[in-house]
Amino acid sequence: MAMRKQLKDICRGFTKNIALKDLGQHEGQFPIYGASGYIKDVDFYCCDTPYIGIVKDGSGVGRVDVYPGYSSLLGTMQYIVPNDEVDLQYLKYALIAMDLGSLYKGAAIPHIYFKEYGKFFVDLPDLETQKHISASLDTIQKAIDFKRKQLEDLDELVKSKFQEMFGDPVENEKGWDVKKLEEIVAEGCSISYGIVQPGDGVDDGVPVVRPVDMVNTFVFRDGLKQTTKEISNSYKRTILEGDEILLCVRGTTGMVALASEGLKDCNVTRGITPIECSESINRWFVYYQFLTEGTQHYIAERTQGIALKQINMKDVREIPFIVPPIEQQKVFAEFARKADAANAIIKQEISDLEELMDSKMDEYFG
């Protein structure tokens, strides 16, 4: 039977005041980690046994992971070292179930403290049961990680295929014809900022695509916020046909997605400009050209602003694009479409595994 114990009674939490700027002269064999992962090897360590690290300050606050013995963390992270009665992996999942990131304080720099969440209770079965539970969850997590790696490999495969066939579009070492973006769009297509902002409580209006909706290759109609038909019609230049490339021009400049057919008659916010390609250039080819390192660097160099990053529309219209023969573009597009179909299958498998993980977490931790 599981006992309920406060977190502070089954583990100890501490921090070390180590700043990134102080690591320059430290070279050695012991790894040190920050919120974004491994930093470097240094000549000291702060914990000689495997432990849990929690981001306690700044971006990613509340994120939980396991770290090896004879290593260290930056001062923005908290060490959690379990007692002998606690399985390390079980404790990791128990902490994840607490969703510590939702408990942070502070507006400018979010933070959480062990002295507060250490009072939370944890169901603690016997050690053998803990290990059985953590092994079960590890199996699911490893499957999710494997599938995510497949997605990364598939994405790299398509980018590599583009590089193999066409080279870098900015360097253009293969000598293709080069045109500005404004020269490869469909006749009558206006490359301009969207302007429509979705409202709250609009039920029978026009769906609006925001940058936050551009998280996958394709953007679909389901789940989009809406604006009124009157507002949308006042900005007809950004009403979609359903076959555009959507380019993010504010915030995460350079992010792109493809509009699905179901987006016909929808609109976009000011953070997005829709690009309808002419018949002389394939949109899959243009989409992946946007993703190349050269084109992303070109956009980044022309992005302005600190608090709100934005690329000037004049610079958007002048983005250079190589234009190989359309038949070669179509060969690449077919390859990319097949990869995207495989991508969709893997994403569904990940979704199913994540649903299973959520179910098991609820079963074990409530």
CATH number at residue 271: 3.90.220.20
pLDDT > 70: percent of the chain: 98
User: Alpha-carbon distance 274 to 258, whole Å?
Assistant: 9
**Same-domain pairing of 105 and 211:** no
pLDDT at residue 106 tops 70: no
Please state the rounded mean pLDDT for residues 77-98: 96
**Same-domain pairing of 209 and 320:** yes
Q: What is the largest CA-CA distance in the chain?
A: 72
**Same-domain pairing of 102 and 176:** no
pLDDT at residue 72 tops 80: yes
**Same-domain pairing of 111 and 165:** no
pLDDT class for 308, splitting at 50, 70, 90?
confident
Please state the rounded mean pLDDT for residues 180-201: 88
Provide the pLDDT for residue 189: 84
Please state the rounded mean pLDDT for residues 23-46: 95
**Same-domain pairing of 53 and 170:** no
DSSP state of 280: T
pLDDT at residue 18 tops 80: yes
Provide the pLDDT for residue 107: 59
**Same-domain pairing of 91 and 192:** no
**Same-domain pairing of 326 and 201:** yes
Closest CA to 33 of 76, 75, 74: 74
User: Alpha-carbon distance 166 to 155, whole Å?
Assistant: 17
Please state the rounded mean pLDDT for residues 118-130: 94
**Same-domain pairing of 76 and 208:** no
DSSP SS3 for 339: helix
pLDDT class for 102, splitting at 50, 70, 90?
confident
- The H or E element that residue 14 is part of is strand 11-14
Asked whether residue 213 is domain-assigned, the answer is: yes
Asked whether residue 117 is domain-assigned, the answer is: yes
What b-and-e string marks burial along 25-34, b requiring 16 or more CB atoms within 10 Å of the CB?
Answer: eeeeebbbbb
In the structure encoding, which two tokens stand for residue 217, read together? Answer: 């290759």
Token pair 């026009």 is found at 206
User: Alpha-carbon distance 308 to 250, whole Å?
Assistant: 7
pLDDT > 90: percent of the chain: 81
**Same-domain pairing of 176 and 44:** no
Asked whether residue 227 is domain-assigned, the answer is: yes
**Same-domain pairing of 190 and 338:** yes
**Same-domain pairing of 86 and 235:** no
Asked whether residue 60 is domain-assigned, the answer is: yes
pLDDT at residue 14 tops 80: yes
Asked whether residue 149 is domain-assigned, the answer is: no
Asked whether residue 293 is domain-assigned, the answer is: yes
Q: Decide the pairing of beta strands 267-268 and 206-209.
A: parallel
Please state the rounded mean pLDDT for residues 244-249: 96
Q: Which domain holds residue 267?
A: 154-345
In the structure encoding, which two tokens stand for residue 23, read together? Answer: 């690591």
Provide the pLDDT for residue 203: 80
CA atoms within 13 A on the CB side of 281: 27
Please state the rounded mean pLDDT for residues 185-209: 87
Q: Decide the pairing of beta strands 177-180 and 256-259.
A: unpaired
Asked whether residue 134 is domain-assigned, the answer is: no
Provide the pLDDT for residue 289: 95
**Same-domain pairing of 182 and 304:** yes
What average pLDDT is seen over the chain? 93
Asked whether residue 38 is domain-assigned, the answer is: yes
Provide the pLDDT for residue 111: 83
- The H or E element that residue 299 is part of is helix 293-301
pLDDT in tens, 146-177: 999 999 999 999 999 999 999 999 899 999 99
Which of 84-93, 144-153, 194-203, 247-256 is least confident? 194-203
pLDDT at residue 283 tops 90: yes
In the structure encoding, which two tokens stand for residue 192, read together? Answer: 């301009």
Q: How many domains does the chain have?
A: 2
